[in-house]
C-alpha cells in the first residue's frame, strides 16, 4: 500500500514537472505542406521545415549555437485590407525545435511575446539583439528565457514606415553589427554598447560575401552593393563618396513569374506585359550571398534575391573585376524558385549552420502596407481573396541533391583548439559564429592558435577571419600585420591588413609603414592601390612629407578614376588645405585635375560645416504617405472610412472622387477651410447636414502635415498622384470662403482650381 502511494506520488511529480516544462510551448503533429506548384532549378530540393501552426507571418530568423531556428513573427502586419490591428502587441520571437530529429519542426516555444511589429534578431554576445520599433533591445538568455533587458538604442527605428525602417542586424567580419535602411552600426565593447555612423544601405535585408563587402537592395533594384569594405571610404566627414558605395549591381531588374501578377501600379504602362505578367521587380528584398559550402562550386557566392510580389526567388552570378562587381541573371528568363502559389511570399534568405539556404516565407496574401496601397491593388487583393491568406507562415530549406549530411556542430561545447579550427570551415555561417564566439569568450589560450592561422597563406578566407578575431580580442598588433603584409598573401588578405594597420599609426611605425606602402605601390595591383589610397589618413599627421608624395603618385596613376581620387580625399581629412598647397608646388595647373575639383569641394564644405548626411541624420524619418496615412486615420477616417468609401449620412466617399483626383489645389482648399453640403461626387448628390471643418486654424496641423495628407489621399484613393508644394499650401491659406465659414460646392467650383 505504501509502495503504491509512493509510485503514484512519483508519477504525479513527473507529470507536474512535464506540465511545468511545457508551459509556453506548443507541440503538434507535423503538418504536411504540398509544394507541387513550386518549381526549383534542377538538382535542388525544396522542403518545408516549419509552418503554421508553429509560426505565423515570419519576417526574419537566426540560428542559435545549438542549430535551433529563432523566428521573428510580425503578426500585426496588414491582417486585412483595412489594416486594423497593426498596433496590437501580438508579435513574437519564437524558438523552433525538431525533437524527433526528422528535419521538420514539431515543437515551438515563445521567447518573447507582446511585441508590436518586431522586425529583426541576431544572436550576439551570448544573448539576443532584437528590434521592436522604435527600440533596439539586448537580452541575455537563461533557460530559453530573456533576462537582463538592456535598451541599446531608443532611436533605432524611430519614424518611417513598417516597410522602411532599419532591419537586418548582421554581425560582420569586422565585429560590427550592420543594418539595412540605416546609417548606423553597433558593437558591444568592454560591456558597453557603441553606436557610430556608417553608409546608408538598402531597404529590407542585408548580406555579405566572403571578402566582407556588403550587399542590399530596394524594392525596384534587385541587388545593390559596396565595392569596398564598410567604413573604409567615409572617414572624411566633409565629403560624400559615391564611386564605390551604393552601386547598382544588376544591369536589369527583370523577373519571370509563372502567372499573372498583382502589383501596386500594374495599370501603368510597362509594369506588366500583354499577359499581365510582371516585367521588373517591385518588391525586391532579403538578398543573400550563398556561403554555405554545400551547393556545387558554381553556386558559391551567388546572390539570391526575394521577389515576394511575384512569388519567386532569383539567382544572380557575381562577377568580380578589379574592385568592381556585377551581378547577372544566372539562367536566362528562368528563376531559381518560382511558384503559382500567391501566398508564397519570400521576404528573407539566410545561410544555415548545415550549409543549406533557408527561405523565410511570410505566406500572407497582403504584402503592401496600407500607406502605399493603391485602389488598383486593393481591388486585386479583394477579387482574388488574397486577404483571406492569413495566420500562416513557412520556413523552407533549399538543399542540393549531392549535399552531404552534416550533423550540427555544437560550437559552444568545443574546446579551444577545436573551436579555433572552425575558422577554416567551408561554411561561412560556421566561420562567422566561431569568430563571434571566440571574441565573446575572450579565452586568451586561443590567441597563439589564431595567430598560426594568420600565417597560413593557403587559406586566405581563414586568414581574414583570424585577423579580425585577434582584433576583437584586442590581441592584434603591428608586427602580426607586418608579417602578413610581407608573406605573399592573397590580395584580399592584404587589403584587410592595410585597413587594420591604420589603428597602429604612430611615429615609431612610420618608417616601416612607408616601406610597406612603397612595396605595394610597385606591384601596381589596382585593388590594393585603392585600399592604400583610403588607409593613410591616420598616418599623414605624423609626416605629411612622407605620405603627400605617395598620394600624389596615386593621383597621377589613376587621374581619371574617381574611386581613387575619392580615396585620397578620404585620407586627407583635416589636411586638405595643406595638400592643396603641396599640390600647387609640383603641378603647373592642378586646377584641371579631378583631385583639385574634389579638394576644393571638400574645403568649401568644411568652411560651411556641410557634412556627409550620415554624420548628421539620427533617424530614418517618416515618408509623406506614411505620415499622411497616420493623420488621415486619426483625423479623417471616422467620417470618410478607412478605405475612403464614405459613411452613409455622414461623409461622401473619397475613392475616385473628383475632389481627390482632379485638383490638388481644390483638395487643399477643402482641407484648409472646410466644406458644407450638399455636394456631388461622381455624379451622385450627397445632401448631408454635416459640415467638414477646416484645419487652417488648428495649430496642431502644419503645412507639411496638410501636404502629407494630400500625398496619402492621392496614393490611396486616386489612380494618378497629384502633388502639391508647401509654398502653394501657404498661398491657399489666404483664399478663404466669402462668409468666413466653410466653402460650399458652388463657391469652391467657381474658383476654377
- Return the percent helix, strand and coil in the chain, to nearest 5: 35, 25, 45
d(CA 421, CA 449): 9
d(CA 733, CA 668): 9
Range of the domain at 662: 624-750
d(CA 219, CA 285): 6
Q: Measuring CA to CA, how many Å separate 134 from each of 68, 119, 197, 369, 419?
A: 27, 11, 18, 18, 37
Residue 147: CB atoms within 10 Å? 10
Average pLDDT, the chain: 91
Domain boundary, last residue among 551, 583, 615: 615
- Reported as a pLDDT band with limits 50, 70 and 90, residue 621 is confident
Mean pLDDT calculated for residue range 351-369:
96
Residues 6+ apart with CB under 8 A from 550: 514, 517, 518, 521, 532, 536
Tell me what pLDDT residue 103 has: 87
Tell me what pLDDT residue 1 has: 36
Same-domain status, 651 and 608: no
| Inside any domain, residue 407 | no
Same-domain status, 254 and 141: yes
Residue 270 has pLDDT above 80, yes or no: yes
Q: Are 100 and 106 in contact (CB under 8 A)?
A: yes
3-state class (DSSP) for residue 1:
coil
Residue 725 has pLDDT above 70, yes or no: yes
- Model confidence pLDDT, tens digit, residues 135-151: 999 999 999 999 999 99
Residue 120 has φ and ψ, to the nearest 5°, of: -165, 150
Q: Hey, which residues does 334 pair with through a beta bridge?
A: 331
Same-domain status, 427 and 392: no
Q: Which residue has better confidence, 547 or 652?
A: 547
| Inside any domain, residue 161 | yes
Question: Could you tell me the CATH number of the domain that includes residue 283?
Answer: 2.120.10.30
Tell me what pLDDT residue 718 has: 81
| Inside any domain, residue 462 | yes
d(CA 716, CA 711): 9
d(CA 18, CA 220): 51
Indicate the range of 538-547, 652-661, 713-722 predicted with least confidence: 713-722
d(CA 632, CA 628): 6
| Inside any domain, residue 134 | yes
Domain boundary, last residue among 591, 615, 639: 615
Degrees (nearest 5) of the Cα angle 220, 224, 228?
165
Residue 438 has pLDDT above 70, yes or no: yes
Mean pLDDT calculated for residue range 684-694:
81
Q: Are 108 and 26 in contact (CB under 8 A)?
A: yes
- Model confidence pLDDT, tens digit, residues 465-505: 999 999 999 999 999 999 999 998 899 999 999 999 999 99
d(CA 692, CA 549): 72
Query: Of all helices (H) and strands (E), which one includes residue 711?
Result: helix 703-717
d(CA 505, CA 573): 15
Q: Are 238 and 615 in contact (CB under 8 A)?
A: no
Residue 385 has pLDDT above 60, yes or no: yes
Same-domain status, 602 and 637: no
Same-domain status, 321 and 429: no
Tell me what pLDDT residue 24 has: 64
- For the record, the C-alpha cell of 92 comes out as 513574437
Q: How many structural domains are present in the chain?
A: 3
Same-domain status, 719 and 628: yes
Mean pLDDT calculated for residue range 388-412:
89
Domain boundary, last residue among 579, 594, 615: 615
- Model confidence pLDDT, tens digit, residues 28-67: 778 889 999 999 999 999 999 999 999 999 999 999 999 9
E runs forming strands in 41-181: 44-51, 58-63, 69-73, 91-97, 107-115, 120-124, 127-132, 135-142, 145-153, 167-171, 177-180
Residue 329 has pLDDT above 90, yes or no: yes
d(CA 289, CA 2): 66
| Inside any domain, residue 415 | no
Pairing of strands 91-97, 69-73: antiparallel
- Model confidence pLDDT, tens digit, residues 272-321: 999 999 999 999 999 999 999 999 999 999 999 999 999 999 999 999 99
| Inside any domain, residue 711 | yes
d(CA 275, CA 260): 7
| Inside any domain, residue 21 | no
Same-domain status, 300 and 382: yes
Tell me what pLDDT residue 626 has: 86
Same-domain status, 444 and 545: yes
d(CA 172, CA 183): 15
Same-domain status, 192 and 231: yes
Same-domain status, 325 and 432: no
d(CA 273, CA 457): 52
Same-domain status, 689 and 589: no
d(CA 667, CA 660): 6
E runs forming strands in 163-308: 167-171, 177-180, 182-189, 192-201, 207-208, 214-218, 221-225, 247-248, 285-289, 303-307
Q: Which residue has better confidence, 403 or 347?
A: 347
Same-domain status, 715 and 586: no
Residues 6+ apart with CB under 8 A from 121: 60, 61, 62, 70, 72, 93, 128, 129, 130, 131, 169
Question: Could you tell me the CATH number of the domain that includes residue 713?
Answer: 1.10.760.10
- Reported as a pLDDT band with limits 50, 70 and 90, residue 116 is very high
| Inside any domain, residue 17 | no
Amino acid at each position: 500500500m505504501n509502495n503504491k502511494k509512493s509510485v503514484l506520488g512519483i508519477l504525479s511529480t513527473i507529470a507536474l514537472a512535464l506540465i511545468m516544462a511545457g508551459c509556453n510551448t506548443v507541440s503538434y503533429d507535423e503538418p504536411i505542406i504540398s509544394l507541387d506548384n513550386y518549381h526549383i532549378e534542377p538538382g535542388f530540393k525544396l522542403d518545408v521545415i516549419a509552418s503554421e501552426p508553429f509560426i505565423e507571418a515570419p519576417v526574419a530568423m537566426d540560428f542559435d549555437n545549438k542549430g535551433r531556428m529563432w523566428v521573428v513573427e510580425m503578426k500585426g502586419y496588414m491582417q486585412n485590407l483595412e489594416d486594423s490591428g497593426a498596433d496590437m502587441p501580438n508579435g513574437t520571437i519564437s524558438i523552433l525545435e525538431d525533437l524527433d530529429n526528422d528535419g521538420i519542426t514539431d515543437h515551438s516555444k515563445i521567447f518573447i511575446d507582446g511585441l508590436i511589429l518586431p522586425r529583426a534578431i541576431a544572436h550576439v554576445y551570448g544573448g539576443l539583439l532584437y528590434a521592436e520599433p522604435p527600440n533596439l533591445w539586448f537580452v541575455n538568455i537563461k533557460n530559453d528565457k530573456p533576462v537582463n533587458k538592456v535598451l541599446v538604442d531608443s532611436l533605432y527605428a524611430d519614424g518611417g514606415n513598417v516597410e522602411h525602417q532599419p532591419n537586418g542586424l548582421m554581425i560582420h567580419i569586422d565585429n560590427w553589427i550592420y543594418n539595412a535602411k540605416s546609417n548606423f552600426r553597433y558593437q558591444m565593447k568592454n560591456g558597453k554598447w557603441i553606436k557610430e555612423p556608417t553608409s546608408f544601405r538598402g531597404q529590407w535585408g542585408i548580406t555579405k560575401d566572403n571578402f566582407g563587402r556588403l550587399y542590399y537592395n530596394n524594392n525596384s533594384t534587385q541587388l545593390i552593393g559596396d565595392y569596398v569594405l564598410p567604413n573604409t571610404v567615409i572617414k572624411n566627414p566633409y565629403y560624400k563618396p559615391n564611386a564605390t558605395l551604393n552601386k547598382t549591381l544588376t544591369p536589369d531588374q527583370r523577373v519571370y513569374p509563372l502567372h499573372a501578377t498583382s502589383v501596386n501600379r500594374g495599370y501603368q504602362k510597362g509594369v506588366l506585359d500583354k499577359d499581365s505578367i510582371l516585367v521588373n521587380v517591385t518588391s525586391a528584398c532579403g538578398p543573400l550571398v550563398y556561403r554555405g559550402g554545400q551547393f556545387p562550386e558554381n553556386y558559391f557566392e551567388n546572390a539570391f534575391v526575394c521577389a515576394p510580389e511575384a512569388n519567386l526567388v532569383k539567382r544572380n552570378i557575381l562577377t568580380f573585376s578589379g574592385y568592381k562587381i556585377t551581378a547577372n541573371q544566372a539562367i536566362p528568363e528562368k528563376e531559381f524558385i518560382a511558384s503559382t502559389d500567391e501566398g508564397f511570399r519570400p521576404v528573407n534568405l539566410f545561410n544555415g549552420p548545415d550549409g543549406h539556404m533557408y527561405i523565410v516565407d511570410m505566406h500572407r496574401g497582403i504584402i503592401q502596407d496600407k500607406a502605399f496601397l493603391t485602389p488598383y491593388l486593393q481591388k486585386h487583393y479583394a477579387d482574388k481573396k488574397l486577404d483571406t491568406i492569413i495566420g500562416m507562415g513557412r520556413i523552407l530549406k533549399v538543399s542540393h541533391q549531392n549535399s552531404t549530411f552534416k550533423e550540427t556542430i555544437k560550437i559552444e561545447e568545443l574546446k579551444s583548439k577545436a573551436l579555433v579550427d572552425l575558422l577554416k570551415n567551408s561554411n561561412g555561417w560556421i566561420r562567422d559564429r566561431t569568430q563571434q564566439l571566440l571574441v565573446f569568450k575572450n579565452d586568451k589560450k586561443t590567441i597563439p592558435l589564431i595567430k598560426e592561422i594568420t600565417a597560413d597563406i593557403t587559406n586566405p578566407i581563414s586568414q581574414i577571419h583570424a585577423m579580425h578575431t585577434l582584433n576583437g580580442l584586442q590581441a592584434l598588433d603591428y608586427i602580426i600585420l607586418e608579417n602578413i603584409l610581407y608573406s605573399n598573401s592573397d590580395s584580399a588578405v592584404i587589403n584587410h591588413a592595410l585597413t587594420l594597420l591604420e589603428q597602429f599609426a604612430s611615429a615609431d611605425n612610420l618608417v616601416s609603414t612607408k616601406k610597406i606602402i612603397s612595396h605595394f605601390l610597385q606591384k601596381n595591383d589596382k585593388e590594393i592601390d585603392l585600399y592604400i589610397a583610403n588607409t593613410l589618413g591616420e598616418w599623414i599627421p605624423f609626416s605629411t612629407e612622407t605620405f603627400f608624395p605617395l598620394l600624389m603618385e596615386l593621383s597621377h596613376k589613376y587621374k581619371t578614376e574617381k574611386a581613387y581620387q575619392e580615396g585620397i580625399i578620404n585620407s586627407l581629412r583635416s589636411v586638405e588645405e595643406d595638400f592643396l598647397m603641396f599640390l600647387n608646388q609640383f603641378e603647373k595647373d592642378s586646377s584641371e585635375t579631378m583631385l583639385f575639383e574634389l579638394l576644393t569641394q571638400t574645403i568649401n564644405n568644411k568652411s560651411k560645416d556641410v557634412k556627409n548626411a550620415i554624420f548628421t541624420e539620427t533617424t530614418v524619418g517618416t515618408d509623406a504617405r506614411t505620415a499622411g496615412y497616420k493623420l488621415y486615420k486619426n483625423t479623417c477616417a471616422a467620417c470618410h472610412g478607412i478605405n475612403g468609401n464614405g459613411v452613409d449620412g455622414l461623409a461622401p466617399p473619397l475613392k475616385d472622387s473628383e475632389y481627390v483626383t482632379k485638383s490638388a489645389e481644390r483638395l487643399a482648399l477643402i482641407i484648409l477651410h472646410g466644406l458644407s453640403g450638399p455636394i456631388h461626387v461622381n455624379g451622385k448628390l450627397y445632401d448631408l447636414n454635416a459640415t467638414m471643418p477646416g484645419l487652417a486654424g488648428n495649430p496642431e496641423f502644419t503645412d507639411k502635415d496638410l501636404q502629407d495628407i494630400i500625398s496619402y489621399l492621392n496614393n490611396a484613393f486616386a489612380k494618378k498622384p497629384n502633388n502639391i508644394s508647401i509654398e502653394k499650401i501657404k498661398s491657399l491659406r489666404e483664399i478663404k470662403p466669402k462668409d468666413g465659414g466653410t466653402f460650399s460646392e458652388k463657391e469652391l467650383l467657381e474658383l476654377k482650381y
